[in-house]
Structure 1
Amino acid sequence: MLFTILIVVQALVAAALVTVILMQQSEGSGITGGLNPGGLMSASGAANFLTRATGALAVLFVVLSIALAALASVQNTAPQIDTSLAHKPVAQQTAPAQPAQPKPSSVPLADQPATTPHQ
């Protein structure tokens, strides 16, 4: 539950960070650097606020990232692997073992000499 709340807060902080960065006036001389010197956020007070907001949101984002990583490592349990769909190897089909039977003798039973017990 806490993990989910922190992820939502981090997503909001990330969106706010992107918004604050995009609102800042470019100081470089890139494609639009010299075209509009009197832009929407040209006042020094607004620029200082956006700079401080960017720094605070960046620090908050990094702290939340570290907290989420620590929380994920603590809550990490052994993975429960579902093996119900696993491919089971087919065992080699062997003939069932049959009990050893004595070999029939080649002499018919009637022709075999009778054994007499020793007296």
Structure 2
Amino acid sequence: MEWLKTLLVVLQIIAAIGVIGLVLVQQGKGADMGAAFGGGSSGGLFGAAGSANFLSRLTAIFATVFFISTLGITLLGSTKSQNSGVLSGTSAPAPVVAPEVPADTAKNSSAAPTAPVTGSSQNIPK
């Protein structure tokens, strides 16, 4: 399933670059910028209006491929994976065990014992 997601991402990147390139090459309405790329000649490969129609159709195809690949990536990313990794077999976390302190270390400790705090020594406002 991971290879399909990788394929869709590659397809989406190619489609995005294709849409960007085709939009930049197309001639706008009333603009003569397309003549620099051969859009002004009527005897060209596609004819007078053929290049505009061809570029528009190709842009629509790339945009559709981009849209479909985006939906596919979203659907693949939203499904839960069956293999959830290391914790897939456990239902509860393992209990935490306190480390054992050797008896001679506890007797030789230089820390002062703490006195319990009583309720009378605290000043609690009512």
TM-score interval w.r.t. the shorter chain?
0.5 to 0.7
TM-score by length of 1: 0.54
In the alignment, does 2:73 pair up with 1:68?
A: yes
Q: How much identity, in percent, do the aligned residues show?
A: 28
Deviation at 1:76, TM superposition (A): 5.5
Q: Number of aligned pairs?
A: 79
Unaligned runs of at least 5 residues, structure 2: 41-47, 87-111, 115-126
SS across alignment from 1:41 = coil
Distance 1:13 1:61 in 2: 5
Deviation at 1:19, TM superposition (A): 0.7
Unaligned runs of at least 5 residues, structure 1: 81-93, 97-119
TM-score by length of 2: 0.51
Normalized per residue, the structure richer in helix is 2
Q: Aligned-residue CA RMSD in angstroms?
A: 3.2
Deviation at 1:64, TM superposition (A): 0.8
Distance 1:95 1:8 in 2: 66
Relative contact order, higher structure (CA 8 A, sep 6+)? 1
Maintained 8 Å contact 2:27/2:34: no
Bigger CA radius of gyration: 1
One-letter amino acid of the counterpart of residue 55, structure 1: A
Q: How does 1:1-119 map to 2 (within 5 A)?
A: 1-28=3-30, 33=31, 38-39=35-36, 40-42=38-40, 43-75=48-80, 95=113
